Amino acid sequence: MVPTPVEAAPIAGQLVPMAASGGQQQGVGRISLAVLIDYIVQRTYHELTVLSELLPRKTDMERKIEIVQFVSRTRQLFIRLLALVKWANSAAKVYKCSDIMMFLDQQALLFTDTADMLAQISREKLVNARLPNFSLPLAVDVLTTGTFPRLPACIRDRIVPPDPISESEKRSTLRQLGNIIQYRLVTSSLPIQMRNLQIENGRVTFHVNHEFEVSLTLMGDNATVPWRLLDIDILVQNKETGEGKALVHPLQVQYIHQLLQSRLIENRHPLHDLYNCLHSFCQSLQLEVLNFQLDKLVKERLGMCLRVMEYLPGRCLTIGYWRKDVKNYTTSDYTLSVQVDPTDSNKPLLVVHKPPINGSKSTEQAIKSEHLSIEKLLIHTIHERAKCKLQEIEASLEKQTAGNCVISGTPAVLFIPVMSPCITSEQLHISIDFLTGRVLCSMPFCDPALQVVKEVEVLLNGDKGDMEKLFSELRFQLMMNRIDRTVQHLFVECKTKLPIPDIDASPLAKLSKYKMYINLTRYSQFYVVVELNQSETDSKVIAPTYYVMTVKSISFDDAATDLPTPNLKVTSLVQFDTFAITHGPFTRAAEPSHDETPNLHKRQFSGGSDFPAKKLRTESWYYIPELAHSVAMCEQKIPFWMLSEELNRRNILHQGIEVECFGTGLVLKLLALPSSLLERGTKSLQKKLLSCAFRENDGKPARPWVVEFIFARAPLATLSSREQSARQHVYFQYDFIENKRIGDIVESFLDSWKQMANLYDSVLDFADYFDDSRDGLQNIVRLHSFNYKRLLLIYGADFSNQVSIEWSVPEKQFKLLFSMSTHGSPIANCHCITDTQLQHEFNQHRSIPQLLQVLHETYLPLMAVAKLPTNPLLAGSSNLARAVQSFLILPQSSTHLKIAFRGIYCLDVYCCSAGLVAVRDGAYSLFDKSKAMEGFTPTPGLKTFFNMYVDDSSVRHRSMTEDDNPPSPMESVDSFLAQQQPSVGSPAQRADGLRFHHPMTPPSNPLTPASPHTSVLHQQMRTPSPGTLLTSSPSAAFHVPSPGQGYAAPISHIHSPAFMQPTTDTSASPGRKSRSQQHPGAESGSPYPSNLPMQSPGPRWPASPSMPGPSPASRLIPMSPGHPMLQSPGDPGRNGMVGPGSRVLPQRSWAAAVPTLLSHQAFNVLLTPTVMQDYPAMLSCSPLERFLGCVFLRRQIQRFVQSEETLVALPTTEPGVVLMRVESMTCRVALQPSTQQILQLSLTPLPDFHEQWSAEELQVLETVFERKVVCPPYKPNAVHAFCRLLAVPVRVLKDCVQLLHLELRPDRSHKWALQWCWTIPPSAPHIAPAGTAAFIATKNKILFFVSDSLARRFLYCNSNAA
């Protein structure tokens, strides 16, 4: 016996079945630990439950004893359980050993039993056993021949099958058998239903559709041989609930097979008997299928509606439907019976209806046996039954209908026209509920919950009541729905009731009870009332009557009408003349016909038309054109009526409400504006006005007001193609909000008129100057567009900039909008920098020529300023947590800018005329040059740097003794400003005589704009023209060249931009003088700090009297005849001009406080980013940024020298030089004298270390300092790291120099390139914040960063200081 494998030992807690083997000891079993714990818990719970029931009956002492005993017993039990659980962790090994021992015992027992059985057989059964004689012949045959020829013949005949017949014999036999079968069928009687047969393969197959299929054959050619039944197939199926399964069990088919075979023997008509048996069985099976489907239908869905009245298996199935009493269902008036035909059982199943369905032959036909479905049979029956019932209802309602009724659809629906005319959606739909047989009424056009339709439904299901009254009510409801549908596209609200407390006393009491209130939502106090009445000629026609009603809100005590109360009071009710409204001019509300609307686009023949005049209805009947036109007319005319009333109240004359040409809309034209508006600004515009009309824009949902102004030709000829006609149309739109006061619209209209008047006043003054060729305005500006609402001017180089001037009604001031004239331009308008200042100044003087002159003179300087980078830099200062802007532009006025560099240095830029710009150090005070302004630091060497860019056009105006004799702080500023005073005074000075000036108090913080009164320099001393600023004689003003200008020449005949003054020139037009005095406050300055504002960029007016400047300080200084610019007090009589390069000006700490004049070309070069020729690897930046960056880093180096212990500062007398000493050398840091844009380092070894340093090593350090450290973007931490590098020991420094040499001159044979990182890069590991100085030296360690460009990684280099 093969030994069985050892079973795996169960783990702890696993369920182990009880031992059933006989080898185990009796009574030894196993139980799952989980079951054991469950038993213990249940036992404890049971005992606790028993205690809770028994303890209340015992005494207190007994209860305590029982509780203690229970606790002690339970505790011991759970202690044993705990010990068992702990032991179960190691029980797996014990179980495994036990199973091994049990298996060995079983094997030993098997061996013992085997030996006993063998001994018993040998001693008892095999004592008399003998072997037979050996068959030697058979053995010899098998061994020699390999066969067994001596097998008996009887065995061969019974076991070995005979040889099969051939295929040809088979075909011949089957062909003969088919002929025999065919002969038998011809000579015997065959049922009609079994004529569908097929003879094939020796058998005949009879097929009866949807019932059965049977196969027969004959076993011989004798005429007495009976038919042999081969196969029976039942074709009845249950496709509804059969799920594809056979309906007859194979045992049942076998029984039928045996029965039919027995009846085929000794039968005169065997085939007839075969058909009768199978046909009867199939009909019984069909009835059973229908009954099964009906039972399932009743149980699942239609148990409350259907009932099986009678079922006789194999005979009939009767179904009851449309029962009257659902709760007590005993009988039904309507039944359906499926039964066998009583006259001829060979026919299919017959359907019988009770009561009979008249006029429907389809219901009397037999049930379709190809698809047995009781549900389809019921649906078809109920559909025909419903059509009969609807025909009865149609006959009973014949008097109430307004046309022909139609029954159609599935399920059947009766369509009844209620009123005349009546569309399909307004017809009453009557149908029959398939489940209950109740009559259902609906009307798609009306609300499904309409009470009248429900009442009609109740009457049709019960006794016939007053049906005529209900149909009359239904007609009124349909008419109300027509009214609602007609106005649904209009901005109105339909109501059937209004909160009118005393309606009986109002005019509405005289109307019928059927009426609709149509509220115009835009005008809540107006209603259109529609009264409905039956026509006198035909009761099926409803005739509407229209009224317009006005109401007002009232309170309960008829007081405080302005309070929002829900109660209304009728103030007026006026009936419409419908014919007059719908047949007025340009009205098409009536029904169009061929004769009323002829084709105007085709030629009319002389002969009349042969066709009769027939009206063609173009819209649906539910749409009432008279109502829609009346409501639209009210909605259109009411706002015009309100507007005319408001205009009359304001004494504005108008022509009344008129109809536009071709009936496009209504219009209200004004005759004249009120006299209160005809001020000086509007009188001239009134003369240009040709027409003013109010219209409503019907094309938009909000229907805003559109006001059209028609003016004569504008005083300016513009480039716009729309403004070239003799008349110019100006349109304004005003949003008309619901129930908005019409007075607000009129106020907006008057504001628009004032807007055009203010702009036209300035434009009219500007037109005089623009048309005068002497002013030169046509060379610097082009008029793009002027539409009386906005003036659009284009100016600048290639006329690519534009400024838009328009009057802002809410702010009551002019608004300037600067942009580019070409769409998609990559640059912005440079005057966006000073747009706020320009707008403020323009609102002060309102002079367009003055604005254009300022724009012209400041265009190139601002274009240059716009090139400065203003992006914030995180590494721009030592504080990495705060971003610092490279340049911060602070406009002080339209011609004065402050430019701050990294919040430390500041420049004052003044745009002068004649193509000049005055630049000074903005950190110095204008009043005391020995003091710096709070928040800024003076820029050393700035004067020397500016002098490098002084060209021929500006150097001749400088004084030779500019820096030799420094003037007093107050004297120098006043002297500079006094020489810029205009040669003529402002109109205010001439008209009012002496004026007191505001105190010259500068702002405390240069970043904070000062108040308008603090800008005394701008209010009293206007910016000088080139002639007064740089020349001594008036005639010289007309010959000052402007080399820096890249576009049109300056204007020569125009007033100062700061003020417009009258002239005594007889060639000037009188209109100019009158308009120049219209703004006496034009000389008031900008509210922004303007320490050096500009006057006219053009020269003085010819023949104008010279007026002294208003500065008090200017009257204390004797003026030189030549009146030179910035002339030193020590050399007052010098009149000659200085050529370029005549001498080098000594550097003084106050020198940059005096403005330096630069041409526009030089100023543009100063601020344009470029790449230095000798340093192509540097970033592109402007010379000014390079200079200020170097000055900034030089200042940082001084701070590092003071903070680092290893750097020793050395005294020096050279200005702008930083001298320090490290361990082995002396370092000198200074600006490059030739360009002032590079910070150079000069290294000199100390005497003790002279031999350790070579010239090449020192040059490497100097080159790295110039090209890698003090380069854009000028990082102070990079300079800090370089200073730390210089302070390391000599041996370490020389090794670092070798690395720097590899960076400057890389070996092309190497596959990598080394780069020294002076600041920690962002992609480096987070040791310190990015941007920190990347060189740290301690007593024992030195940490620095280098970058491998091939591997793109950062390497940390630690070097021991020793």
3-state secondary structure 588-633: CCCCCECCCCCCCCCCCCCCCCCCCCCECCCCCCCCCHHHHHHHHH
Report helix, strand or coil for 1065.
Answer: coil
- pLDDT level of residue 401 (50, 70, 90 thresholds): confident
pLDDT value at 723 more than 70? yes
Which of the given ranges, 132-136, 1001-1005, 1259-1263, has the highest pLDDT on average? Answer: 1259-1263
pLDDT at 180: 92
pLDDT value at 614 more than 80? no
pLDDT value at 1081 more than 60? no
Residue corresponding to tokens 């050393």: 940
Residue type, 775: D
Average of per-residue pLDDT across 1173-1190: 86
pLDDT at 874: 76
- pLDDT level of residue 1099 (50, 70, 90 thresholds): very low
pLDDT value at 1044 more than 50? no
Average of per-residue pLDDT across 96-112: 92
Average of per-residue pLDDT across 229-254: 85
Average of per-residue pLDDT across 606-617: 42
| Ranges 467-481, 645-659, 690-704, 1190-1204: which has the least confidence | 690-704
pLDDT value at 1055 more than 50? no
pLDDT at 1029: 34
Average of per-residue pLDDT across 17-41: 64
Contacts of 1074 (CB under 8 A, 6+ apart): none
pLDDT at 420: 76
- Distance separating alpha carbons of residues 1009 and 898, to the nearest angstrom: 11
Tokens of 1090: 């303007």
Q: Are 1224 and 1245 in contact (CB under 8 A)?
A: yes
| Ranges 268-272, 431-435, 1051-1055, 1334-1338: which has the least confidence | 1051-1055
Q: Are 1139 and 960 in contact (CB under 8 A)?
A: no
Q: Beta strands of 28-98 (E only): which ranges?
A: none
| Ranges 298-312, 814-828, 1056-1070, 1157-1171: which has the least confidence | 1056-1070
| Ranges 171-180, 739-748, 952-961: which has the least confidence | 952-961
pLDDT at 1203: 86
- Distance separating alpha carbons of residues 578 and 896, to the nearest angstrom: 74
1208 or 593, higher pLDDT: 1208
pLDDT tens readout for residues 845-872: 989 999 999 999 999 999 999 999 988 8
Q: Are 1043 and 953 in contact (CB under 8 A)?
A: yes
pLDDT value at 1296 more than 70? yes
Q: How much is the pTM?
A: 0.56
- pLDDT level of residue 550 (50, 70, 90 thresholds): confident
1078 or 481, higher pLDDT: 481
pLDDT value at 320 more than 80? yes
Kindly report the backbone phi and psi dihedral angles of residue 775, in degrees, each rounded to the nearest multiple of 5, phi listed first. Answer: -75, -25
pLDDT value at 1006 more than 70? no
Angle between the 742-771 and 848-865 helix axes, to the nearest 10 degrees? 80
pLDDT at 995: 35
Residue corresponding to tokens 């209160």: 676
pLDDT at 229: 92
State the DSSP code for 922.
T
pLDDT value at 77 more than 90? yes
pLDDT at 1361: 44
pLDDT at 37: 92
pLDDT at 865: 92
pLDDT at 429: 87
- Distance separating alpha carbons of residues 803 and 821, to the nearest angstrom: 9
pLDDT value at 1169 more than 70? yes
- pLDDT level of residue 46 (50, 70, 90 thresholds): very high
Contacts of 1350 (CB under 8 A, 6+ apart): 1311, 1312, 1313
Is cis: bond before 1273, omega within 30 of 0? yes
pLDDT value at 1202 more than 60? yes
- Distance separating alpha carbons of residues 672 and 753, to the nearest angstrom: 12
pLDDT tens readout for residues 905-936: 999 999 988 889 999 998 888 887 777 788 88
pLDDT at 79: 94
Asked whether the CA dihedral 941, 944, 950, 954 is positive or negative, the reply is positive
Q: Are 208 and 234 in contact (CB under 8 A)?
A: no
Asked whether the CA dihedral 828, 833, 836, 840 is positive or negative, the reply is negative
Residue corresponding to tokens 């500007």: 766
Task: Output the CA–CA distances (angstroms, integers) from residue 128 to 114, 125, 132, 1157, in the order listed.
Answer: 22, 7, 13, 152
Average of per-residue pLDDT across 21-28: 41
Instruction: Provide, rounded to the nearest whole percent, the portion of the chain with pLDDT above 90.
Output: 19
- Average of per-residue pLDDT values in the chain: 76
Average of per-residue pLDDT across 1055-1078: 39
pLDDT tens readout for residues 1129-1168: 333 333 333 333 333 334 456 678 888 999 999 999 999 9
Among 323, 262, 316, 260, CA closest to 291: 316
- pLDDT level of residue 700 (50, 70, 90 thresholds): low
pLDDT at 564: 52
- Distance separating alpha carbons of residues 80 and 56, to the nearest angstrom: 31
Q: Are 674 and 707 in contact (CB under 8 A)?
A: no
Contacts of 144 (CB under 8 A, 6+ apart): none
Asked whether the CA dihedral 131, 132, 133, 138 is positive or negative, the reply is negative
Contacts of 413 (CB under 8 A, 6+ apart): 390, 407, 429, 430, 431
Average of per-residue pLDDT across 391-399: 82
pLDDT at 325: 58
Average of per-residue pLDDT across 1207-1236: 90
pLDDT at 66: 92
pLDDT tens readout for residues 405-458: 888 888 888 888 887 777 777 788 888 888 888 888 888 766 655 778 888 888
- Distance separating alpha carbons of residues 418 and 825, to the nearest angstrom: 71
pLDDT at 891: 94
pLDDT at 1123: 35
Q: Quote the Cα angle for 944-948-950, to 5°.
A: 110
Helix then strand then coil, in percent of the chain rounded to 5, is 35, 20, 45
Residue corresponding to tokens 């399909």: 424
pLDDT at 873: 81
Beta strand pairing status for 896-901 and 689-696?
unpaired
Q: Are 1251 and 1225 in contact (CB under 8 A)?
A: no
Tokens of 1239: 């910070």
| Ranges 647-656, 995-1004, 1174-1183: which has the least confidence | 995-1004
Average of per-residue pLDDT across 9-31: 44
pLDDT at 39: 93
Report helix, strand or coil for 919.
Answer: strand
pLDDT tens readout for residues 486-543: 888 888 888 888 888 888 888 888 888 888 999 988 788 889 999 888 887 777 788 8
pLDDT at 358: 74
pLDDT tens readout for residues 949-995: 888 766 655 543 344 444 444 444 444 444 443 333 333 333 333 33
pLDDT at 698: 66
Residue type, 249: H
| Ranges 462-466, 646-650, 1230-1234, 1310-1314: which has the least confidence | 462-466
pLDDT value at 1058 more than 50? no
Angle between the 1276-1286 and 1290-1304 helix axes, to the nearest 10 degrees? 130
- Distance separating alpha carbons of residues 1347 and 888, to the nearest angstrom: 34
The 10 Å Cβ neighbour count of residue 585 is 6
